[in-house]
Structure 1
Amino acid sequence: MKRLAHLIRFNPDENKARPNPNLPSGYTYFLQMVAHDLVHSAISTSLGDGQTAGLSNVRNAPLRLETVYGGGPTECPHAYEASQIAFRSKLRLGNSRIDRNDQNHSGPKKDIARGTTSTAAELARKTSYPEALIADPRNDSHALISQILVLFHELHNCIADELVRGGTLPPTANPFADAQRLFTAARTACVLIYRDLIRQDLLPRILHQDVWQAYSTGQAPFPWRVGGEWRAPLEFTNGFFRFGHSMIRPIYRFNDGPANAFTIEQILAHTSDKSPSDVPLEAAWLVNWDLFFTSDPNAGNVSIRIGPWSQVGIGEDVPGEGDLIARDLLSSIAIQPWSIGSLVDRLRTTHGALLERSEFLAGLIGSRPWAARIADWLTKRSDESFGAFNKLSAQEIKTLANDPPIPLFVRFEAGLASGNQGERLGILGSIVVADVICGVLQYDRLLPGNPAGGLQGELATLSAATLGKTGSSQTNIFAFLADIEGPARKISLTTVRQFLNDRQRVTPA
């Protein structure tokens, strides 16, 4: 796996340097948060040298923003703002710093909350570090994912504030129950918005067009079930969904300030754990999302195309990280997954028409139509590699080509012409991603019935459930969210960000 990782790192394919206008870099890190919301495990196979004892996915309520809310205010109080009422209804945000010398944290509330000590000197004397006061510590694994989390904390708090300001939730004689109702209403609205973002904005960007069309018109998901519940299988979490690591840029421009560009190594190191003296974030580290959600490669941070390549040495210079590519490969085989061949053979009975549209997959049960192309690629890369240690033997190449590790297969397939040369996933990668995510969205219902009218219909149904009323003439307590879909009535991360910007201009934090 280390030799294979070396070949991926030093792949000279011209696509490696080509930007992907279909996937601005903001989606790279939104994908990471979605991954955290699909899987939660007590151990890490990639950082634990492939140890799998105790490995399981305990995220039994996927895509409900448990990665943001945790177990709620009663189980995870540190992630929530303290209030006069015993039940906390809003998520914490923390003040940023104007610069390194700002010990009073005088910047805007645009960082996650952090349990910092008062001075850098005090930090230097302590062996502990300032905890990130969030529900899922993985969301402070680097400076970009923590800023994505801030967006969702802001969204929840904005919804809660508007519900209070609108006065449409009549109080009862029990303030504790009122606070619970406010929290539940805001959280459920936030989850509905989040799921619509996945359905309308994310999936159409990452899935192969033929697969997206099939799932938009009734393709039944493959039943990835655990005890009757929809959960993300380890093949997905430790294999297929790691494709985002090939999209990472070497440098990101955070904002329009004079010192606004940071390497991926700097970004990975800028956390409460790894760099406690560098948090809260300074103004230079606060993200201007306009630079991360534009398809113009000259204006922002457009991602790298998906394929069997990666920026050299991601994570190698960060203590405790190691080579990200090798970690992905090791993790994917340590879980003892379905082989690509067996999975494709099984899917031929349910998704055969889609598989036949790919020259990489079309064939009879038992055939391995991808083997020759992967073998040619491995042979060429191995011959071009530097040093005898990095060369693969003929037997290793044959084995890897017939039974490739999932991350290699998904990247390789996406880089083919049938995968739009890395603009999105190929057929098989798209099928598995769609099966898992669309399965959750289809079968895990948050509301009674199947509300018509898209997001606004769902919010109207949630309003009725919150108020305990029925009928078309009642007040819709979420009417203020009509603008979140933008003028085209289609939600995206850009429209959500604009909605929050507009609200914050009217009512500053």
Structure 2
Amino acid sequence: MARGHGFSARNGENQPLGEFTQTGKFGRLFPRLPAFTPSVEKLTELGNAMIDPNPELPEGDNNQVPAGYTYLGQFIDHDITLDTSSLQEVLVDPLAVRNFRTPMLDLDSIYGSGPLAQPYLYRLDDPSLFLIGETSQGGGDPSIPPGFPNDLPRVKSGLAILGDSRNDENLIVAQLHLAFLKFHNKVVAGLRDGSIKALHSIDKPIFEQARELVIWHYQWIVLFDFLARVIDKDQLESVLKNGRRFFKFKEQPFIPVEFSVAAFRLGHSMIRAVYDYNRVFTPLPGGVVPATLDLLFTFTAKSNRDGAINVPVPSDWIIDWRRFFDIDSNVATNPSRKLDTSLVDPLKNIPNIPAPTSLSVRNLLRGRSMGLPSGQSVARFMRFKPLSPAEIAQGKDGAVAAKHNLHVESPLWYYILKEAQVQGKGLRLGQVGSRILAEVFVGLLEADSSSFIARNPEWKPTLPAKVHGTFSMADMLKFVDDVNPIG
């Protein structure tokens, strides 16, 4: 397996975490392919047609991918990319756009720059441990007391104290961020009591030992739990065994815009309008109200339109992870929605953002401003057979695409979702989308001299798991032992 050079000096054995933290750049996978720039009007009409008319019909569910992976994908995205540039009609050079995250699967969204540089993320009495916040009194079930250690740490205003503020934009991602904080703290406890062994030298500080174990198990989850569920496994195995063909760089990797603006926006299609969140907020009998997307944004400080009145998170809004990952066979999980060109209706009009407020329209216009090539040109370049115009023209959105001749050459994000619908039957990405994700994730790991692929490609996870030598999100949450605190 190919080796890469460390992205920053903090990968050195004797460098304190964060001292030389660097951010990255965006770039192109296919710089020789021409930009595909249909008119804004055509893309707007196509985006507005990408709405699921029946978002709760089970025919639109993907029962092979539990809904938790939708938000794990968002969490991973926040770990490797942060583009603060505004949406523009003019073409943007990706090389001029700064990525404010390190393009590594290193959980810098969790660890920040470490306890020396950002001590406010950590406990004052024990800087090896993350701060954890406490919940407030809930109104859905007042019998559940406040004071559970199940919220992000927060300042007086209600804003969360964390390495990436975007992880407090919706409640599921916020609870996922919290789970990773607790994962680290649990590993620290295990190293201290001897129930867990360090990966390498025990001369390292306990924080560094725990961080390395957490990151390697997280990287395994990304490759063999998340990716293996949402992409064509043949493409992942091909990249792992035969190497990358398209994601090329010299010493430092970058984030390709074909990845960040198109392929890795697959999760937008997976979002549900309503969730069975816990025993209180569920559409099932006995629930108070279902957990709608609007409510999931309400119980955060960053997205709440009414300010910080709903944080700290109420105790009755603590997540029941059994309903989002395959943890307990006796509890049904929320399935994600199928990977296709239909997004749920709430995403058609997102509040508190500049126009356009439709997520699908914004994605299409972002692809245009970044000068992405058409999906068909990428397929041909990759030596895959492109979807036929008739395949693209299927459905309500396909009819709009055909109206504007976008079924012959299609926007890359739209093409990748249509490819998933046609080739993957809505259960996983097709060839182009799968190959882009496989190349980029494997490439980022190979370029990081501290990753398990670069340091020990034969390594297997060592923490407790349902299947020895593997590790999944379900395994991580069971290890943390905080699956359903309110019962």
TM-score using structure 2 length: 0.77
1:373 aligns with 2:396: no
Matched, 1:194 2:200: no
* Structure 2 Cα separation of the partners of residues 303 and 336 of structure 1: 30
Note the alpha carbon deviations across 1:426-468, whole angstroms, 9 max, x for none.
Answer: 1110000101011122332316974365334xxxxxxxxxxxx
SS at match of 1:132: coil
Establish whether residue 439 from structure 1 lines up as the match of residue 481 from structure 2: no
The offset of 1:406, in angstroms, is: 1.7
Q: Unpaired segments of 5 or more residues in structure 1?
A: 117-128, 171-177, 349-354, 362-368, 383-391, 457-480
| Paired AA for residue 63 in structure 1 | L
Alpha-carbon separation, structure 1, partners of 2:223 and 2:445: 8
Deviation at 1:55, TM superposition (A): 2.5
Question: Is 1:404 aligned to 2:404, yes or no?
Answer: no
Q: Matched residues in 2 for 1:315 and 1:141: separation?
A: 18
Match of residue 242, structure 1, among 254, 265, 273: 265
Mapping of 1:27-106 within 5 angstroms?
A: 27-45=69-87, 52=92, 55-83=97-125, 88-100=127-139, 106=146
Distance 1:380 1:289, change over 3 A: closer
Cα distance in 2 for partners of 1:403, 1:324 equals 21
Q: What residue is the counterpart of 1:173 in the other structure?
A: none
Of 232, 238, 256, 2:255 maps to 232
Q: Distance in 1 between matches of 2:114 and 2:388?
A: 46
* Residue pair 2:103, 2:444 contacting (<8 A) in 1 also: no
Change (3 A) 1:221 1:137: same
Identify the match of residue 255 of structure 1 among 268, 273, 278. 278
The alignment partner of 2:71 has SS state of helix
2:63 is paired with a residue whose SS is strand
Is the Cα contact below 8 Å between 1:50 and 1:331 reproduced in 2? no
Equivalent of residue 181 in structure 2, options 150, 153, 156: 153
Q: Which amino acid aligns with 1:303?
A: S
Partner of 1:422 in structure 2?
Answer: 426
Residue 308 of structure 2 is aligned to residue 272 of structure 1: no
Post-superposition Cα deviations, 1:213-257, rounded to whole Å, max 9, x if no partner, equal 4235x1322343455322321121111111111111110121123
Q: Aligned residue for 1:351? A: none
User: Are the aligned partners of 1:247 and 1:306 in contact in 2 as well (CA < 8 Å)?
Assistant: yes
> Structure 1 residues 500, 150: CA separation in 2 closer, same or farther (over 3 Å shift)?
same
Q: What corresponds to 2:37 in structure 1?
A: none
Structure 1 residue matching 2:347: 3-state secondary structure: coil
> Do structure 1's residue 108 and structure 2's residue 132 form an aligned pair?
no
Is the 1:192–1:455 Cα contact (8 Å) retained in structure 2?
no
Structure with higher RCO (Cα < 8 A, 6+ apart) = 2
Do the aligned residues in 1 keep the contact of 2:293 with 2:346 (CA within 8 Å)?
no
Pair 1:337 & 2:357 matched: no
Matching residue of 1:387: none
User: Displacement, 1:49?
Assistant: 7.4
2:45 alignment counterpart = 3
In structure 1, distance between residues paired with 2:150 and 2:84? 30
From the superposition, tell whether residues 454 and 7 of structure 1 become closer, same or farther in structure 2 (CA, over 3 Å).
Answer: same
Per the alignment, residue 346 of structure 1 pairs with: 381
The alignment status of 1:493 with 2:473, answered yes or no, reads yes
Question: What does residue 461 of structure 1 align with?
Answer: none
CA distance in 2, matches of 1:183, 1:153: 13
* Alpha-carbon distance in 2 for matches of 1:281, 1:13: 28
Residue 371 of structure 1: how far off its partner (Å): 3.1
Q: Give the structure with the higher percent helix.
A: 1
Which AA in structure 1 matches 2:136? R
Measured in 2, the distance between the counterparts of 1:372 and 1:184 equals: 54
Q: 1:185 to 1:61 in 2, by over 3 A?
A: farther
Q: Contact 2:196/2:463 (CA < 8 Å) preserved in 1? A: no
**2:236 pairs with 1:212:** yes
2:173 aligned counterpart, secondary structure: helix
The more displaced of 235-244 and 72-81 is 72-81
**Where does structure 2 lack aligned partners over 5 or more consecutive residues?**
1-42, 281-286
- Distance in 2 (alpha carbons) for counterparts of 1:294 and 1:167: 25
Offset of residue 380 of structure 1:
6.1
- The aligned length equals 422
Q: Deviations over 1:317-343 (max 9, x none)?
A: 532372221121121211112333443
Q: Structure 1 counterpart of 2:435, which letter?
A: I
Please list the CA deviations of residues 339-388 of structure 1 after superposition, one character each: whole Å capped at 9, or x if unmatched.
Answer: 3344333322xxxxxx25xxxx2xxxxxxx53343245568644xxxxxx
Deviation at 1:78, TM superposition (A): 2.6
Q: Percent identity?
A: 23
Give the aligned partner of residue 18 of structure 1: 60
Contact 1:50 1:330 (8 Å CA) reproduced: no
* Alignment pair present for 1:324 and 2:359: yes
1:292 maps to 2:348: no
2:316 paired with 1:311:
no
Q: Give the partner amino acid of 2:469.
A: R
Distance change in 2, residues 1:236/1:167 (3 Å): closer
One-letter amino acid of the structure 2 residue matched with residue 404 of structure 1: S
State the Cα distance separating 1:12 from its structure 2 match. 6.9
- TM-score of the two chains, using structure 1 as the length reference: 0.74
Are the aligned partners of 2:251 and 2:447 in contact in 1 as well (CA < 8 Å)?
Answer: no
Deviation at 1:502, TM superposition (A): 7.9
